[in-house]
Amino acid sequence: MSGPLQGVRVLDLSRYISGPYCSMLLGDLGAEVIKIEKPVVGEESRTMGPYAGDVSLYFTQYNKNKRSVTLNLRSGQGQEILRGLIQQSDVLVENFRPGTLDAMGLTQKVLDELNPELVVTSISGFGQDGPYRDRVAFDCIAQAMSGLMSLTGEEDGTPLLTGTWVVDFVSAIYAALGTVSALYSRRNTGEGQRIDVSLLDCISSLLATTVPLYTTSGVVEKRWKNRDKVTAPANAFKTRDGYIYIHAGTQPLFSRIVKIIGQPELIDDPRFDTVSHRMENIEAVEEAVQKWAQELTTAEIDYLLSKSGIPVAPISDIPGVVNNPQIQHRKVFEYMDYPGAGKISINGITLKMSKTPGEIELRPPLLGEHNDEVYNGLLGLKADEIQRLQEQGVI
């Protein structure tokens, strides 16, 4: 593998999104990632839709740049093999419930004895300690408990989840950041450490000013729907053929948009002459923009405002995203032929690094595709030993 993490070996024991996305990010940066899966059935996400042919797109989306080996972690021989892999690895990523590694005999003391330089990245719903430590959580549970759902949706409507698994993804990014930081620290100390990542912690850290507003004044922030919280006009506006998002809330931007919409006098209107006044009269200033926007197409507005330096974007559906020329130019999505699925899309390399760029070197693996490569090449097991372990259901 190329990239800044070349030479780093990661054992991925995780499932679903947060852990696999974390280890995939490390793989995108050049780490060698070995994904450990259950024999025969594989990691749980292989059975989750949507599908292309008989292939789970849920699995392929979060598992590029990895090798797959099968291993029965409930068997004694399987645990011995895992310990051998731990001794030759730099990072272990897991998102079991707290205490699961201990129950497998892999306490922190044992891990330190096996490999004192090992970085263990543990992702869980609520962290490795605290009163909710043993509760089960998914992304939606963290969105609910963190208050994010209470901030999302119509002002008097039902609290809403976001349109994607934002908690899982941000937790994965935090976990990858923690892992890289621990690897950097190891260069100075020679020691690994445990990274404790909580879904609830991660998403709660992104609540912006809602928490300090409440703790200092007792004010509970209302839902802002699609509006910006601090400036106006900044909202989604209906056009002649769709919707567009316009952000002209700062003073320089507002002075430009009032000219474009043909109402330059609004800049001196006492209702709109400052940001705070526009926030006090937010519906009136939005109405002025809306009356103008509804007479034009989305493309016309996008052209007029973008050339004037006003932040603007059509509200795209997924076909619009896939066909967006900027997204295509940046290779946000890559395409490949995949066994049993035909042509599929996966995430490209998001981080663009000038000196040590990552690349897609491995497509998402087939189940156990790299058993021989890893067990022979890394652990020195002979072909007949590997065959025997397969027959015994160990791998």
Q: Give CA angle at 206 (25, 35), nearest 5°.
A: 20
168 catalytically annotated = yes
pTM beyond 0.85: the answer is yes
* pLDDT tens for the chain, residues 1 to 395: 679 999 999 999 999 999 999 999 999 999 999 999 999 999 999 999 999 999 999 999 999 999 999 999 999 999 999 999 999 999 999 999 999 999 999 999 999 999 999 999 999 999 999 999 999 999 999 999 999 999 999 999 999 999 999 999 999 999 999 999 999 999 999 999 999 999 999 999 999 999 999 999 999 999 999 999 999 999 999 999 999 999 999 999 999 999 999 999 999 999 999 999 999 999 999 999 999 999 999 999 999 999 999 999 999 999 999 999 999 999 999 999 999 999 999 999 999 999 999 999 999 999 999 999 999 999 999 999 999 999 999 99
Domains delineated in the chain = 9-206+327-392 (3.40.50.10540), 234-315 (3.30.1540.10)
Alpha helical stretches, state H, the chain? 18-28, 57-61, 76-87, 100-103, 108-114, 139-146, 166-189, 199-204, 210-217, 251-260, 275-280, 282-293, 298-307, 318-322, 325-329, 371-377, 383-391
Predicted pLDDT of residue 2:
79
Residue of 262, 215, 253 whose CA lies nearest to 234: 253
d(CA 251, CA 350): 33
Of the residues 12, 28, 139, 168, only one is catalytic, namely: 168
